[in-house]
Structure 1
């Protein structure tokens, strides 16, 4: 199985349209003029993904005031994402990519190591897209815990 090419700063971010947990369609190009943090996670309502989503929700206002929108993408269906939002009081936009097409285009789905075995699955990743639609930052195999704080530092948002 071949791995998709990872994105690098300066690449054009692949555009996408995906359904959200509220049923509306969200298109990346529709957010031009804003910076967008697109993060990919394996499954709603699992411990690591919940921690990461809550961290993004807790940082959402400060990220938005710095000009960033946040989109969380998982293979979960919109109905499960709606339960996830409700259960954990999430405030960010959650998108559903059940066929993993967008994940593959962002190199966020493929071979990874899980407990020492090579498996195919979602690679926890974050891609920051600038106002023009270019990749500003691409991070792969990120940790669920502490990732948002590290991302804020990497973006120069914490003094």
Structure 2
């Protein structure tokens, strides 16, 4: 009876393979155009960070904010962040009433002006603020814009 032997790769070989693979990805990404675009940016230009944030958010969507609110889209333009929400389960007369809208304004102001690292980064990336658009049955029912001036 012949005995089969299996050779096992040392774990270092697998790690080296991953390092080589990552190196190849970095080299492939380091085109002259991309390097020139990188060099053309200012030292404090938030464009790249904005792009990463928007890409990560897009991968996470949709996000259920609460039992009646679904965040469906996140975009940005000219330093302003735009959130698109879909609302379900709240009657129109409540959504159109002053009480619900005032409550939403207070919540959004409190969240935007809250002192935490994540919100501070959003303020830096999107200095014009955040526009919150709430839709029901594909109809825009409420828009509220929070800006840095609200926090002063």
Q: Tell me the TM-score range normalised by the shorter chain.
A: under 0.3
More helix by share: 2
Q: Highest Rg: 1 or 2?
A: 2
More strand by share: 1
TM-score by length of 1: 0.24
Larger relative contact order, structure 1 or 2 (CA cutoff 8 Å, min sep 6): 1
